[in-house]
Structure 1
């Protein structure tokens, strides 16, 4: 089973060690379960101007400590099937997921499923655009993870109708 992952963080202008996680979301492939948290431990001044304008206004709280978020996320993965793989379009998201978890759960695959190649496919892209146009703001981790799930499902459906 895939779990669709997205994060928001303080900005790409920061080197990896200085990047701070603002929020993280995962959505199960079948839509049956979601996990979302906003994290504390960052200040507005830590964020790039773009993040201040486009991401921070979407964070409505409450925020969790890293320890509380870690425990909750580990519990979420423990309740998933025996084998899951994170699907995301960025290695940064994957690294944030692993960092927040601390220890990779035994049911989480060691490698992520890369969604980046789907970005330029019409079915995937059109589905994301339609989802965001219906009042689900982009650059909110949970909205983005939900959109990735819908886009992937649309892409998979389009492959069913392709001639062999």
Structure 2
């Protein structure tokens, strides 16, 4: 099963997780906002585009210490192996960092969405998702859903690039 992942973080240089959003190909999602990140590490863009949309999702606040267990519980609830799809290696690295040494056994690897994200039908579908009210850009859950929408558009166009086995993954 593909799990689309997006994160928001403080800065590319001093990178600290702010929020994490994941959605399965079937549409089941997970979202958490880290409450104890260091806002002083945020660059101006993040302060405006990311921080302004925090605090609006019910049950999303979590401490950095509690985040790993919450992520593990969600992956455990997926009754199958999960190939994590993201368009940026930083998202994958932040997920692994959040999990520490106890990575769920059903995470079988990473699938690089970056090549698909360049295709016009992917971009149109992602933009259409974000154009809907309440789906802002630079919000980890909405960006993960937009990736899913783009991937579904690629599949609908007959260009099904979903990996068929763990051998088709990156990293």
Q: Is the TM value for this pair above 0.5?
A: yes
TM-fit CA distance, 1:60: 1.1
- Tell me whether 1:86 sits opposite 2:84 in the alignment: yes
Instruction: Tell me how large the CA RMSD over aligned residues is.
Output: 1.5
Task: Please give the alpha-carbon distance, in whole angstroms, between the structure 1 residues aligned to 2:86 and 2:159.
Answer: 22
Q: How many residues align?
A: 155
Q: 1:160 to 1:43 in 2, by over 3 A?
A: closer
**2:51 pairs with one of 36, 56, 66:** 56
Task: Please give the alpha-carbon distance, in whole angstroms, between the structure 2 residues aligned to 1:153 and 1:79.
Answer: 23
Q: Which residue of 2 aligns with 1:104?
A: 103
Task: Please give the alpha-carbon distance, in whole angstroms, between the structure 2 residues aligned to 1:91 and 1:160.
Answer: 23
Q: Which residue of 2 aligns with 1:151?
A: 150
TM-fit CA distance, 1:2: 0.2
**2:113 pairs with one of 112, 115, 131:** 115
What TM-score does the superposition give when structure 1 sets the normalisation length?
0.89
Structure 2 alignment gaps of length 5 or more: 161-171
TM-fit CA distance, 1:160: 5.6
**2:37 pairs with one of 29, 37, 42:** 42
Q: Which residue of 2 aligns with 1:25?
A: 21
1:77-112 per-residue CA deviation (whole Å, 9 max, x = no partner) reads: 011133110000011000111111222211101x31
Task: Please give the alpha-carbon distance, in whole angstroms, between the structure 2 residues aligned to 1:114 and 1:127.
Answer: 18
Task: Please give the alpha-carbon distance, in whole angstroms, between the structure 1 residues aligned to 2:21 and 2:93.
Answer: 13
2:65 match: secondary structure: helix
- Mean Cα displacement is larger for which, 88-97 or 76-85? 76-85
What TM-score does the superposition give when structure 2 sets the normalisation length?
0.85
